[in-house]
Chain A
């Protein structure tokens, strides 16, 4: 089992560019999550998907969209990247408990 995997590991964007962060899990979990981690702010929930076919906003959804492609995959899209979106992004999955996290994507927006 690979657990939760994320691609890419690193990305640099210019302001206004778009990109999609990919996440996949092989644990047959129903729920999947996207978080961002910023210095001094801890982890904040962007979006989550309780089950295949559903998505809901978290604490900081503005500027992001998500797609739950199937039970395994949950992607996060930045349509027009802004410097404020420079962060480390973590995907997580869960089936009741506990929540397992991926290795992260380090995104810099110039």
Chain B
């Protein structure tokens, strides 16, 4: 099947904003998700957005959705060292499929 694309790595300094980008494939996707995975741990749901929304904000997290370009982004304000992790974008498909990107490794340096 077609892939959800994410850049592999991102490095930011503590206190800066991080922006993680994702392009998805299915224009009929209903929901788009961001999950966080710390080393050796499971996937933690960070936030999700319904496809009829353009933006969703939740404390330090802002999700932007551009349906025309099939582009999703996650902005983390005031990035902390505890935000270092792998971030996965996922799109819902028909039926029960949830199509994941390969993840973006975020490194936050002091």
A residues neighboring B (CB under 8 Å): 31, 33, 40-43, 45, 48, 50, 56, 90, 92, 97-104
- Are A97 and B92 in touch, CB under 8 angstroms? yes
Known contacts A50-B96, A98-B33; can you find 7 more A-B pairs with CB under 8 A? A41-B102, A42-B102, A56-B96, A90-B42, A99-B98, A101-B35, A101-B43
B33 cross-chain contacts in A, Cβ below 8 A: 98-99
* Distance in angstroms between the alpha carbons of A104 and B41 in the assembled complex: 7
* Distance in angstroms between the alpha carbons of A90 and B48 in the assembled complex: 20
B101 cross-chain contacts in A, Cβ below 8 A: 42
Q: Is B53 an interface residue (CB 8 A)?
A: no
* Distance in angstroms between the alpha carbons of A11 and B60 in the assembled complex: 37
Q: What are 6 contact pairs spanning A and B, CB under 8 A?
A: A42-B88, A42-B103, A50-B96, A100-B45, A103-B42, A104-B41
Interface residues on B, range: 10 to 19
- Are B41 and A43 in touch, CB under 8 angstroms? no
* Distance in angstroms between the alpha carbons of A56 and B45 in the assembled complex: 24
Are A97 and B31 also in contact (CB < 8 A) when A33-B96, A48-B96 are?
A: yes
Chain B 71-89 against A: per-residue CB contact (8 Å), 1 yes, 0 no?
A: 0000000000000000010
B48 cross-chain contacts in A, Cβ below 8 A: 97-98
Which of B41, B45, B92, B100 touches A103 (beta carbons < 8 Å)? B41
Are A101 and B42 also in contact (CB < 8 A) when A42-B101, A42-B103 are?
A: yes
- Are B102 and A104 in touch, CB under 8 angstroms? no
Are A98 and B96 also in contact (CB < 8 A) when A40-B102, A42-B101, A43-B88 are?
A: no
B98 cross-chain contacts in A, Cβ below 8 A: 45, 99
- In the assembled complex, the CB of B41 is this many whole angstroms from the nearest CB of chain A, namely 6
A101 cross-chain contacts in B, Cβ below 8 A: 35, 42-45
